[in-house]
Copies of this chain bind each other. A is one copy, B any other.
Amino acid sequence: MYLHADPKAVDLQAKLFRGFGDPSRLSILMVLRQGPLTVTDILEKTGLSQSNASNHLACLRDCGLVAAEHEGRYVNYHLSDDRVGELLELGESLLSDVARGVYECTRYNTPSSRHLSQARVPRSGARR
């Protein structure tokens, strides 16, 4: 028989994926694929508010997905590991084939697509 996966490892890995699972954080990671950027650059490219971006950057930093280098009064952020970019690419590639399903999945939504939620059609005669 198989072993259960180590619960702690699963929790940590889920947490890692959640780093990629928020539109704000993901847009930060995506713009950083091109190379290091200051916070101001990130704000411009993503359209996030300063405080919001800074909060998410702290999160990504703590999680080790990005790294920061201070330079005068600027802070340059970059992806901390090549595998972060690889994960983004794999995600894009996969999405290109499953996008419709993702769009239609209504169990959870990204914050900015919540208004797109659609009611699930109940199946024949299920009622209570």
Contacts and interface: CB of A to CB of B under 8 A. Distances in A.
Contacts of A63: 98, 101-102, 105
Interface residues of A, number: 76
B107 A55 contact: yes
B102 A94 contact: no
A40 interface: no
Nearest to A41: B2
Interface in A59-78: 59, 61-65, 67-69, 78
Secondary structure type dominating chain A contacts: helix
Interface string A1-44: 01011011111111111111111011100110010000000000
Interface string A87-109: 10011111101111111111111
